[in-house]
Structure 1
């Protein structure tokens, strides 16, 4: 982690207090957009690597992590998220940035580029889809069919659902099932996954469901050919949350997009392939001149005294 670090809250007009933290220095900035129900756990290794050369912004969506909810709790969804990011970037002193999106954060990054293209210098889209995520979860329609029942239950019995969710996700069994079924336990440290379960266990289920509903209806498919910034798509070949064919399709429809397919990666590929992802991202940023120019050191006695009067 860079020595340059600060954290703060920004209260937006509808009352939501949004948490954000900034580390490092250098333009363009790097903005990390999380997945649904996440508070930044997946950026554990990539964030400090980026902070060596960039001002890195991590922030929490409404009702996620340390961020609060708006006065009107129905103001949850993709359009509010993009408005929030626009304001948080201002608060962090970042004019333009490379947007990093993981899972649902890919939709956030794409929608933000559609609405605020002048603020986006590049995109790194990790283990996510361009939209309608319930249609392809586990490469099937089951969750989409169940969602109306899930939504009804959560909206009508939020306290009971919260208690049940907290009890289930706080058990070691939940972590073991995830490592065995959803993740590649041979590549992943258990300690890297614990923060995700700790956050999800204590999240307001109503906020979760309303955020999911918005992401389930959002679709940036028609915007893909209009993406006019350098784009790197990263996918895990064994990802069950977001099947790899979605990443291939997304990369094929974004002009000039590059694709990194990790052969045994899952939905948390940045944790499983930490060094590979860091190297590829570093190369991508360098090749597209998305890193700050190196500091120019005086080469002569005249230049030295000019630099230090």
Structure 2
């Protein structure tokens, strides 16, 4: 297995309904790894973990429809979980990745679980980070307030898309928005402003109609019934202070998936991979070694100790 992360390729994959999906492949070595983002994200949560994994593995990062550098289909109603899973299957085919370890953060956890339900033969393992098995609006901040408010929010955005985009752009482009998010939702002592700012920059540029339609699909999706049928090694990573997807959801998920392991980061929030990169890297490394028999001998670089910065590429 090669330890080189020098291989890099990026491109767009045009799918049958007209959407062009951005992707990049970096590094080499088996098993291949796919990183699935959260809603409204274009990869910011993988800032440290992605280059770390690419030292030993071929790592695929990609953008959902209407996210990041990917476009929307000609029929803009074709947004949602099932289309996302079909897109991922086509992405694996296009990049020649037959079986992979699926990593999911936030909404990416639902994508990974649903993909396993539909294409189990393409999945060799799951790493589910700070996410839910489904219906996330039911548990956001341990409240149903957002679920009750969402239908009105969606109607407003769908009826006034241009005005909504201007308002969201103006709000999210401010330093106040970033600082409020850090103060209210993240661990201020652990996360750097520069790690969070790309998320707000992307969200400010995103089509709000795509956002609410994707969120609507998430809100209606539930993989609870599938959890007992997950038949691959699974690691669940949770933040003890996560308000978006409270830690008890991850505990339930780990209990219900046969043989799943749980790593709870007590002071971690929804951005735990950015707040405790060394801890997450070390735990993922151990999971891949012990559960998927990934060799980490002298042919590969030694793993960084917890807390170390990612390797320069």
TM-score bracket, normalised by the shorter chain, equals: over 0.9
Stretches of structure 1 that go unaligned for 5 or more consecutive residues are 297-309
Deviation at 1:292, TM superposition (A): 5.6
Match of 2:174 in 1: 171
Deviation at 1:290, TM superposition (A): 4.7
Indicate yes or no: 2:239 matched with 1:236. yes
Match of residue 146, structure 1, among 141, 145, 149: 149
Larger mean Cα displacement after TM superposition, 105-114 or 91-100 = 91-100
Indicate yes or no: 2:130 matched with 1:127. yes
**TM-score when normalising by structure 2:** 0.93
Indicate yes or no: 2:37 matched with 1:9. no
**RMSD (Å) for aligned C-alpha atoms:** 1.2
Match of 1:222 in 2: 225
Residue-by-residue CA offset, 1:53-100 (whole Å, 9 max, x unaligned): 111000000000000000100000000000000001111221110000
Deviation at 1:28, TM superposition (A): 1.5
Could you list the structure 1 runs, at least 4 aligned residues long, displaced by more than 3 angstroms after superposition. 292-296
1:193-272 superposed matches below 5 A: 193-272=196-275
Match of 2:294 in 1: 291
SS of the aligned residue for 1:67 comes to coil
Indicate yes or no: 2:118 matched with 1:115. yes
Match of 1:22 in 2: 25
1:43-62 superposed matches below 5 A: 43-62=46-65
Deviation at 1:2, TM superposition (A): 2.2
Deviation at 1:291, TM superposition (A): 2.5
Q: How many residues align?
A: 296
Give the greater-gyration-radius structure (CA): 1
Task: Tell me how far apart the structure 1 counterparts of residues 96 and 298 of structure 2 sit (CA, whole Å).
Answer: 21
Match of 1:83 in 2: 86
Task: Tell me how far apart the structure 1 counterparts of residues 27 and 77 of structure 2 sit (CA, whole Å).
Answer: 35
Going from structure 1 to structure 2, the CA distance change for 1:71 and 1:34 (only over 3 Å counts) comes to: same
Indicate yes or no: 2:189 matched with 1:183. no
Going from structure 1 to structure 2, the CA distance change for 1:96 and 1:294 (only over 3 Å counts) comes to: farther
Indicate yes or no: 2:279 matched with 1:276. yes
Match of 2:37 in 1: 34
Residue-by-residue CA offset, 1:242-272 (whole Å, 9 max, x unaligned): 0000000000000000000001000000000
